[in-house]
Each structure stands twice: as C-alpha cells, then as structure tokens.
Amino acid sequence: MIYREAGQFKTTYASDQAIFPIVQDRVVVAVAIAAAFLVPPLTLGDYWLQAVLIPFLVYALAALGLNLLTGYAGLLSLGTGGFMAVGAYSAFKLATAFPGLNIIVVFLLAGLFAAAVGVAFGIPSLRIKGFYLAVATLAAQFFLIWLFNKVGWFVNYAPSGTITAPARTVLGVMVTGPESTAGARYVMALAFVAVFALVAKNLVRGRVGRAWMAIRDRDIAAEIIGVRPLRTKLLAFAISSFYCGIAGAELVFLYLGSAETIAFDITLSFLVLFMVIIGGLGSVLGSFLGAAFIVLVPIFLTNVPHNIGLDLDVALAKQIELMVFGGLIIFFLIVEPHGLARLWQITKEKLRMWPFPH
Amino acid sequence: MKRRTWLFGVLAVVVALAPVAPALAQSNQIFIPLLVYRTGPYAPSGIPNANGFQDYFNLLNERDGGINGVRIAVEECETQYDTKQGVECYERLKGKGTVVINPYSTGITYQLIPKAPVDKVVVHSMGYGMTASADGRYFPWVFNFPMTYWSQASAFVKYAAGVEGGLDKLKGKKIVHIFHNSPYGKEANPTLEELAKKHQFELTLLAVDHPGQEQKATWLQVRRLNPDWIYLSGWGVMNGVAVREASSIGYKMDRLVGNWWSGSESDVIPAGDGAKGYKSMTFHAAGANFKVHEDLAKHVYGKNKGAHKKESLGEVYHNRGMINAMLNSEAIRTAMVRYNLKTAPTAEQVRWGFENLNLTEAQLDKLGMKGMIRPIKVTCDNHEGNGMAAVQQWDGKQWKVISDWIEPMRDVVRPKLELAAVEEAKKLNYTMRDCSKEK
C-alpha cells in the first residue's frame, strides 16, 4: 500500500535497469537529496553541521571507497587510513604549492595521487588473498603514516608536523579554513558525496562492477570467462583509493581544519572497515548506513544522559556509551549479518507487499 | 517479523532521544567547560588533572562564593584525549556561554587555535599547545603561560649546563631527545637544535611512535650512544616504559630529565625502585602541604564534595589542575575588576583579563598558593608570560623540587618564536596587531 506500484510498466530496457526503477523511490530520493542540500545549512546550528553531519559525510565517502574494494571486489584492505592520509597530505601540498588552484581540482588531484599509491600497494593482491591481503595492506597503513611523519617536506617543514587547511573559495564562497562557515563546508562535502555515490552506483551496475563481483565470487571462474584479474583488481584498488583519498582531503579541509598523522592511524582503517561491515558489504546504501551508525550513534549516546536530565559522571557515561555501542553492533550483526542495507532491503520488500505479505 | 519490530523499537528510542538544542547556561554564572579524559589510554594523567580543576573551582564556590561573588559552573566533556572527540565537545559547549577553554591536549589545541578568534573563546593551553601562539600580537585569543615548550627546553639545557659547570662545558657533550612522534613531542626540537649549534653539544633526536609501548630500538641506540643527558618528551604510557628501559640498561637516572608532561607519579611508580633519581621539569611544586590544601580539606573535602582521593592530594597532576584552574579564575577576576562587574564577564572581557593578568606574590599568598608557583605577568605581545621552570626529582616516594627557579633563555627562544609566529600567522591569514594601541 505504501508502495502503490499499480500502473508502473517498464516498456524499455532503460526504465527496467534504472537505478531506482520504482517511481516512489525516485521521488523520495530526489526530495531527500534536495532537502539535504537545502535544509541543514539553513536550519541547523554549527554543532550539528560541524560535529555530526560533516564527519558523517566524510566517513560515508571513505566507506563508499572501501566498500568498492572490499564489498564488491572482495579484496580486504586495512590500508584505508593510509590512503586517506595520502589524499590529505597531497591536497595540502597542492593547495599550498599552487594557491591559485581551485580547491575542487585540488581534491580530485589528491584523489588521483591516492589512487596511484593504492595501485602500488594493490599489486600484491594478485598473489595473496583474504586475510593475507589484509596484512599486506596493513603494511601500506604503517609505511605511509611513517613516511608522512618522517619526511618534513610533506608538511612544509612545519616544526609540529601538523597540516593546516588554507582558506580557499569556490564561486566566491569560502569553503575551507577557519573563516568558512560550517554550512558552506557541509554543502561542499555533500556535493562530493552525492556525485561520487552516483558514480559508484553506476560503476557497480556496469561492466566494471560486474567484473569485480565475478572476481570476488570466484576468481578462477572469472578469469575463464574473460575477466582480467590484474586489471580488475588494480582498478578496484585505484578507484577505492581515489574515493578514500578525497575523503582524507575532506577530513582535513572540511572537517578538522588541521591534522596530524595520528588522525589517520590504524584505528581509522578499522573504523571505516566496521562501517562497511555493519552497513553491508557490497552495497552503496550500506556505506551510508554504516557511516551513520558508527558516527552518529556514539554522539547520540553521549547526549542522551544530558538531555533526559540524568547527571552522570562523564567517565561513567563514556563507559556506558562504549558498552551500549558495542552491544548495538553485536545486536545488529546477529539480527542481520548482512548489514543494515539488507535490513532496509527486507523492510522495503515488506512495504511493497504490505498489507498482504506472503 | 517480531524481532524486526523490536529492532525498529530500539532505533526509534535512539532517534527520539536525539540531542535537542543545547540549553543556555544561566546568565549569572561563569561557565567553564572542561575537556577531560577520564577514560582511555591517557586516563591516569587525565583523572588527577580533571579532579584538580573540579576541586579548585569547587573551593572557590564554597569558600569565596565564586569569583568576586559570581559562581562558577563547570561542565565536563570526555575526549579520551582524542582530537575528533575534543572537537565534538568544543562545538557542543562553545554556545553555552563559554568564556575560556582548556583543551588539555596539544592536538586539540591545534584544532581550536584557528577557531578561537572566530568563535570568540579564549584558549588557554597551559604549558602545552603551539609555542608560536605565545606571540600575542598574532594570536590574541590564545595563551600558553606560564611557559612554552621552547622555553622549557632551553631551561633544561641551562640546568644541564649548570650541573656540568657552565654553558661552555656543554661543548662536545651528547644530549639525546627522546620524543613522542606527534606535534607535542616535536615541539622542543627546533630549540634544542638551535642550542646544539650555539653551545656545540651533539644532539640526537629519537622519535617514539604513538603510543610508545615499543621502545627497544630507541634504547638500543641510547646504549650505543651513551649520552651525557637525555631529555624525554613523552606522554602517558610512553613515560613509564622509557623510565623502565632507562633503569634496565643502567642509565644514570639523574641524567634522564623529562619535560613537565613526563614527570608525574603514574610515570614513575610502575618502574618501581628503578625510577629513583629520575628528574623532570616543572613549573610548580608538588605536595599537599600548601595552605590551599588546608582550605580544600575544610571547605571541599570536609563537606564531602571532593573529586579526588583525599590521600592522593598533592599529586603532580592534581596540583597542576588546580593551578590551571587558578590561572583561569585569576584572569577572569582581573577582567571583572577592570570592567567593574558583578555579573559574568563576556569572552572579550575575559580575553582582556588573560592579557593583563598580573599574578603577584601577595595574591598567591591570599589564594594559599604561595611557593606552589611563581608570580606571573602576561602582556599583550607575550602570552607565555614571564614564567620560570624548576627541576623536580623522584625520591621513590614523592616528587621534590631540587633546583632553583630557572630563567629560560628568552634571548634564544623569543626571536625564533616570533619567526614561527609569522609563519603560522601566514597560514591563517592573520595580521599583526599593534600592542601599543591596546587598552
């Protein structure tokens, strides 16, 4: 009933293969995106934008990147933090070396640098698989962080080793640096996420995505039917690292404003991997749901005792928060091991049948 | 079907309890948020510090009815010493009438420095943070008195020279700097390098990666080098490991000097007797035999309002937390006197108070902190004030100050600091203000 699909006939292949074949979905998504662009910057305060929504968007992009690699191509990576660092540091170098360069171009170039590094570290994936590949990508994580810590050139020889986002504008609006408004940075992050989510969705529906999934499901069979493992796997690493690189640049330029290498350490890699697993492997929507879960739930939990007037000791509140958060992760993984995206899929199927389920 | 209903029930509850707009603090209270870390890997240092803050502000409220009659309201926010959580806390608390914030982490300080002038919040990074921000002409909203890392490092070199018998005796001596591989740990390097050139000692920089549990390679190098002095810029677990490693290779403990974030009880107790003789820099005395502690016992602990374990009062970090709280409140008091206020001052007024803080011996005596810290005077162009350092030593039971107050080498530090401030200011597009025009 909620989805009244009577009368929606697909008369062309194009309409049958659309991203959202059901009209209601299309409308809801279009409205949601428009609302996401318009409503928060106009109505929400700094705290919401700066501490909740911007990190959510940044992590969603990183999770999307990792999901392409791990969820679609089946290559387990623990190097996400390292690849994000490549994006962040190359964006910093580019932005400071070429002050005239548009910040959007800087982000895209930073993504390309990350992609190149990702390809280099993806080469072992041809020989090693599964957990062993995870260990190999761990090397990328540690090596890259060590490199940025060690070589002063990457931070323009700042004695503290901290990189600071310079102020840059897009169409006359300040989008980075301390003077930029949270709203402007939010819209910038959202624009990147929206565009790249669309790109990702199309990639995974097309030839490239099918090749990835073929490799994931059985690489020998895939090779026999003509999928070239070398190209396919490296392409997965390249595109995934490109996404992660842009997310890393955003982390510094749009979210934190300045960062040190610790911001990109191994915990970040794990965090993004958890987002992908909880959200749903091999699902674009899952990346968003996972990022939302990991970023938003702790913040909700932190604020709950306050808002219901419970005056808890902060240490106790934090410990309860960690326990509840851990419990929720376990709960969701038991209820739906395929992630939150699968949960939504089931819900949607039910909604389409409602009220006559079979 | 049923368990999914359940699931959505849980989700609905979570969403329903979503944070509503933060309530504004009551108008006639001075609101001071505290970024604390009572959990996580750095909690052993974070807890006494946070308790020191709580106890001192409590004392002011109980004993004096606040600052000049206006009560202080504090709210803690847990950061786990994590930069991202720190930023979340800051964003949440800044709109509540915050006038001053103590980030208690160099990483978080770096985040807040660019935001401070935009949001109009005073950032007081007491003895940590960005050294260059001590140039108040470029960083009007950031204060790091009583001293910066650079001044501290120069005071260490002066102390070592004093033991050796003069600055000229440093020539050819080997000094190793073991530092936490983060902005915090790296801060002292430029000063040490400069001084190595000037006084011709051999400086070796050895980085230890976060969190610092693994230092075998570092100490192997130390053993090979056999340095005359070691300066340690560690934090948390790294300190304890370093002290243990030093004693296990038989290094002369009285030649191992930590900076003031490497000299607390939790850094030495795990190393047991081996830690005896270990020294560290400090800018205040430890111990619970000051008058302020009597007041605490009477007004706070006597009323069962104490935050700390009573028998642990006098710990280095508890005292430091109290001193930090005192510096905050005295700056606010300065502002209230200047603007003749009976109500909570605004952030601009508090900024003026920080900049014109003149903490005299008489005032310290009145506060019961005489001998705990030196008098201090902050000016418009010098936000690190005229603080001095001392060296304290662990005798197996407690930290004892063993040196006189050491004047840092301001002639070396200040010019470098001004150059660094220009660099940092360029990154943020700051211009220099004219301090002679400040009222």
Domain limits, chain A? 35-264
Same domain, B115 and B34: yes
Asked, for residue B408, whether it belongs to a domain, the answer is no
Question: Is this prediction's ipTM beyond 0.90?
Answer: no
Same domain, B100 and B175: no
Same domain, B185 and B248: yes
Asked, for residue B46, whether it belongs to a domain, the answer is yes
Report how many domains make up chain B. 2
Of B282, B317, B333, which residue constitutes the final position of a domain?
B282
Same domain, B264 and B202: yes
For residue range A265-276, list pLDDT tens digits in order: 899 999 999 999
Residues 6+ apart with CB under 8 A from B206: B176, B177, B178, B179, B218, B221, B222
For residue range A116-126, list pLDDT tens digits in order: 999 999 998 88
Q: How wide is the angle at C-alpha B132 spanned by C-alphas B129 and B138, nearest 5°?
A: 115
Asked, for residue B414, whether it belongs to a domain, the answer is no
Same domain, B251 and B374: no
Same domain, B325 and B428: yes
Asked, for residue B409, whether it belongs to a domain, the answer is no
CB atoms within 10 A of CB A187: 21
Same domain, B40 and B124: yes
Asked, for residue B63, whether it belongs to a domain, the answer is yes
Residues of A in contact with B120 (CB under 8 A): none
Same domain, B293 and B428: yes
Residue with tokens 């603090």: B25
Mean pLDDT of all residues in B104-113: 89
Backbone angles phi, psi at A39, to 5 degrees: -70, -55
The mean pLDDT of chain B is: 90
For residue range A291-301, list pLDDT tens digits in order: 999 999 888 88
Question: d(Cα B152, Cα A9) in Å, to the nearest integer?
Answer: 76
Residues 6+ apart with CB under 8 A from B422: B138
Residues of A in contact with B106 (CB under 8 A): 160
Residues of A in contact with B117 (CB under 8 A): 178
Helix, coil or strand: residue A331: helix
**Separation in Å, CA of B274 to nearest CA in chain A:** 31
Are residues B292 and B52 in contact, defined by beta-carbon separation less than 8 angstroms?
no
More confident residue, B210 or A227: A227
CA-to-CA dists, residue A148 to A317, B84, B109, angstroms: 36, 20, 21
For residue B378, give its domain range.
24-147+287-388+421-433
Residue B22: pLDDT band by 50, 70, 90 thresholds? very low
Q: Which of A326-335, B272-281, B358-367, B414-423 has the lowest mean pLDDT?
A: A326-335
Burial class (CB in 10 A: 0-12, 13-18, 19+), A36: middle
Asked, for residue B227, whether it belongs to a domain, the answer is yes
For residue range A86-118, list pLDDT tens digits in order: 999 999 999 999 998 999 999 999 999 999 999
Of B282, B299, B321, which residue constitutes the final position of a domain?
B282
Interface test with B, best of A141, A160, A164, A301 (most B CBs within 10 A): A160
Of B266, B282, B298, which residue constitutes the final position of a domain?
B282
- Hey, what are A170's tokens? 């897009």
Are residues B320 and B431 in contact, defined by beta-carbon separation less than 8 angstroms?
no
Domain of B69: which CATH number? 3.40.50.2300
Residues linked to residue B74 through DSSP beta bridges, in sequence order: B32
CA-to-CA dists, residue B326 to A34, A151, B58, B195, B292, angstroms: 51, 40, 11, 33, 11
Mean pLDDT of all residues in A255-270: 90
Mean pLDDT of all residues in B184-189: 90
Closest residue in A to B5 (Cα–Cα) = A347
Same domain, B220 and B261: yes
Asked, for residue B332, whether it belongs to a domain, the answer is yes
Same domain, B141 and B157: no
Same domain, B122 and B237: no
Q: Do A162 and B95 touch (CB under 8 A)?
A: no
Same domain, B250 and B174: yes
- For residue A282, give the nearest of A343, A199, A201 by alpha carbon: A201
Question: d(Cα A315, Cα A285) in Å, to the nearest integer?
Answer: 34
* pTM exceeding 0.80: yes
